[in-house]
Amino acid sequence: MRWLLLKDLQILRRSPLQLTLLILYPVVIALLVGFAMTRDGEQTTVALYNAMPADSPLGFGGEEVDGDEIRDQLCDRVDCLSADSVEDATKMVESGEATAAVILPEDLGEKILSLASLNPQSPEVQVVVNGSNTVESEVTDDRIEAMLSEANLLLAKRLSEAANQYLDLILEGGEFSLFGQELEVLGLQKSEQILKRLENKVPAGTDREELQRAIRFAGLATDNLDLAGPLLTAITQPIKADKIEVGDEAPSLDTFAIGVTTIFALMFVTVLLVAGSLALEKEENAFTRLTAGLVTRLQILLAKVGLGTVVGFGVAVILLVGLGLFVGIEWGRAPLWLLAILFGAAAFSAGGAALGAAAREVRAATLAAVMICLPVALLSLVPDDAVGPAIETVISVVSAAFPFKPALDALTSGLEISGSSVWLNYLHLAVLAAAYSALARVALRRF
Amino acid sequence: MGRLCRATSHKFLSVESQVSGPALRARGVSKAFGGRQALEGVDFEVGPGEVVALIGPNGAGKTTLLSILAGIAEPDSGEVDGNGVAWVPQQAALYRRLSVRENLLLFARLQHDAGQTNDPPGQMVDRMLELTGLGERAGDRVGTLSGGNQQRVNIAIGLMAEPAVLLLDEPSVGLDPGQRERLWDFVLGLVGTGTAVAFSTHDIQEAERYAERIVVVAEGEGIFSGTADELRQAVDTGSGDLESSFLAFLREHGH
Ligand SMILES: Nc1ncnc2c1ncn2[C@@H]1O[C@H](COP(=O)(O)OP(=O)(O)O)[C@@H](O)[C@H]1O
Ligand SMILES: [Mg+2]
């Protein structure tokens, strides 16, 4: 069997065009897919639940901001669905009706008002996203960030007007209330006048009261400067988002993108190589000679699966490590992702062998490989909530019967997610490898 | 009709079988693919060192018979006796992207691992390169060789296990007359060393020129076995032309 494997590697080395295509094609496809995935032209739907009391105008610094205005700002960038409660909004996200929910809490108004006071509190909105879909939740993150910055811009304008009033107070003096106590602020301009007068009087005697007022101003001025700190923070980002994820854990977009790229390359390299190379045995007429007492059909099959596993594993690891230089992958988890690639390579190879055995011709095998791999892989990438339940079932069955989805899950889990699911993915791939090998063996009977 | 011509068959047997018996013998071989009867009760023999041509129109069942004789396919009924039978497939069963040496080495290794020969693969390759006269082209890819040279490599692989009978399925298809002649010089050189050869062809001239005996199959049935002259005598066309006799013979037997 090792001689068969050696022979196939020699043939592969002699086929520079095939070798180049085998590597270039998957990389190009993978890049296109990665690019397409990160671009999302559609409007995101966001469930909005507004718990703020309807009749609480947000007036500060003489300017009015009301809840509707904030909502309009939020809903400028996305399609808003109104929800009746926090639970309702969360359900909409879980069911996929909305990609995210934004919850405006009851005390949001008070907190926004407090921004203009001496004791500012950070207003927070809650954002609920479905974590089980990497692409959408990342896209939604971007959208919500954009929404919040719109709302924040509006508040920042109002707050800077409020800050101006404080600056006026410090400059010109006046009255304002702190903890129910009316305080008189002297103001820098008056202080200057008083100090000028004191200048004349000090040698002659002391005017205790005026001196005390100057001292009190000094203290207040310090307090006012302290106030400027939190106030400025509030201006840069008045509303903070408190993000909650519902649904299963999903890999980050980076991990997902390199996972898709790597598994795409792995799929094309192994399926095309094994299907083509097995069909070549028939085309070169060598199969009959090999099976005429030299080797068994099973040995030929295993040699082909071995070839695909070795070459596919090599190409995928090189690609992943190359991508890892840009994106950063966890080298400590290498055993996990290497195993994912290994099991994936074996499953794809077995699938390729079944295809090659059925097609019996290099061209037909190659064409069939592309025509089957591409749609099935793309189908596996369709988000669950993008389709109805019936189609969703079909997609999940097709995805489970083909190694792409389990290999992608195994790789992204291996790269990032902890837990036992990665072992289930390995098992899934091993079962597929065995099943496709059995299919290939049956097809070789009438090869 | 439908049986090998007994008289001639006997005549042949009386010559060869007295010495050591046929090197390969098949009796009453039948084989059907689906509903289609490819072979029906065919008898066939090759004596030691004998050269036999198996001739018949396309689809007659020549390839099917040879693969059953080689033990690659199982007959539905009938029996095959023979040891040391090597079979060379119709088209060159070679890897075109590998060199002559690499092809020979691969099959030498596989035959060695399968216990068909004890010779070290490296030595075997050198011997086959010498035998085929392709030593100078050992490093060339098989795909760049002429059809005749490809067929030599193809046959050389069949010879590695030093068979008593070599079965060649249409060895000269696609070769020009010059290539064909050189190929036969090569094959008949082997016969000089004691190897029996049975080859299929649909070219009656080739059969007459290179074979000692001709076996005619048509539509799965063996209808003649004897020398070219006996075939001429079997039908009286008056011209003495073997091709006309052959066609007349086929027609006479309803093919
Ligand atoms: N594997 C097969 N499956 C089905 N039919 C076959 C197969 N091999 C041969 N046949 C049929 O058997 C008959 C004899 O074929 P073959 O032995 O190849 O003829 P020849 O070699 O004389 O041209 C033909 O009719 C052919 O179509
Ligand atoms: Mg034939």
* Residue-wise pLDDT tens digits, B132-189: 889 999 999 999 999 889 998 999 999 898 899 999 999 988 888 888 898 898 888 8
Strand partners, B226: B214
- Which residues 117-146 of chain B have a CB within 8 Å of chain A? 141
Contact of A364 with A447, CB cutoff 8 Å: no
Strand locations in A142-269, DSSP E?
174-178, 181-185, 240-246
Q: Do A14 and B111 touch (CB under 8 A)?
A: no
Q: Which of A6-15, A30-39, A416-425, B179-188 has the lowest mean pLDDT?
A: A30-39
Q: Which residue has the higher pLDDT, A66 or A97?
A: A97
Q: Do A7 and B106 touch (CB under 8 A)?
A: yes
Confidence of residue A217 (pLDDT cuts 50, 70, 90): low
> What's residue B8's pLDDT?
33
Where residue A129 sits, what CATH number does that domain have? Answer: 3.40.1710.10
Structural domain containing residue A93: 44-154
Does residue A168 form part of some domain?
Answer: no
Strand partners, B46: B24
Does residue A162 form part of some domain?
Answer: no
> Residues A207, A306: one domain?
no
Q: Which of A221-230, A339-348, A381-390 has the lowest mean pLDDT?
A: A221-230
Of B93, B102, B116, the CB nearest to A285: B93
> What's residue A96's pLDDT?
77
Tell me the pLDDT tens digit for each residue of B43-81. 999 999 999 999 999 999 999 999 999 988 899 999 999
As for how many domains chain A has, the answer is: 3
> Residues A439, A410: one domain?
yes
What is the CA(B220)–ligand 2 centre distance, in A?
A: 12
Q: Do A285 and B98 touch (CB under 8 A)?
A: no
- Chain A CB contacts of B112 under 8 Å are none
| Closest C-alpha residue for ligand 1 atom 11 | B38
Q: Which residue has the higher pLDDT, A56 or A13?
A: A13
Average pLDDT over residues A396-416: 93
> Residues A49, A27: one domain?
no
pLDDT higher than threshold 80 for residue A83? yes
> Residues A111, A150: one domain?
yes
% of chain A at pLDDT higher than 70 = 63
- Chain A CB contacts of B92 under 8 Å are 285
% of chain B at pLDDT higher than 70 = 92
> Residues A150, A180: one domain?
no
Q: Do A290 and B110 touch (CB under 8 A)?
A: yes
Confidence of residue B237 (pLDDT cuts 50, 70, 90): confident
Confidence of residue A239 (pLDDT cuts 50, 70, 90): low
pLDDT higher than threshold 80 for residue B201? yes
Confidence of residue A122 (pLDDT cuts 50, 70, 90): confident
- The CATH T-level fold of domain B7-252 is Rossmann fold (3.40.50)
Quickly list H helices, A292-420.
297-327, 334-359, 362-380, 389-401, 404-415
**Final residue belonging to a domain, choices A98, A126, A154:** A154
CB pairs under 8 A between A and B: 55
> What's residue B14's pLDDT?
35
Highest mean pLDDT among A82-91, B215-224, B229-238: B215-224
What is the CA(B95)–ligand 1 centre distance, in A?
A: 24
Mutate to test the pocket of ligand 1, among B29, B64, B168, B170 (most ligand atoms within 8 A of CB): B64
Picking from A337, A342, A357, the residue whose alpha carbon sits closest to that of residue A436 is: A357
> Residues A370, A426: one domain?
yes
| Closest C-alpha residue for ligand 1 atom 16 | B61
Q: Which of B97, B117, B124, B145 to mutate to test the interface with A (most CBs of A within 10 A)?
A: B97
pLDDT higher than threshold 50 for residue B5? no
Instruction: Residue count of chain A, please give it.
Output: 447
Domain ranges of chain B: 7-252
In B, minimum Cα distance to A5 occurs at B106
The rounded mean pLDDT for chain A is: 78
- Cβ B91 under 6 angstroms from ligand 1: no
* B96 vs B93: CA distance, rounded Å: 9
Q: Tokens in use for A310?
A: 């070795």
> Residues A265, A346: one domain?
yes
pLDDT higher than threshold 70 for residue A256? yes
> Residues A282, A350: one domain?
yes
pLDDT higher than threshold 90 for residue A194? no
Residues contacting B220, CB < 8 A, separation 6+ = B37, B38, B39, B40, B42, B60, B61, B64
Average pLDDT over residues A41-62: 66
Q: Do B114 and A295 touch (CB under 8 A)?
A: yes
Q: Tokens in use for A129?
A: 């996203």
Q: Which residue has the higher pLDDT, A352 or B132?
A: A352
> What's residue A195's pLDDT?
65
**In this structure, which amino acid lies at residue B124?**
M
Cut 0.90: pTM above it: no
Chain B contact for A294, CB < 8 A? yes
Strand partners, A63: A60
- Chain B CB contacts of A290 under 8 Å are 110
| Closest C-alpha residue for ligand 1 atom 2 | B33
Tell me the pLDDT tens digit for each residue of A148-161. 676 666 666 666 66
> What's residue B12's pLDDT?
35
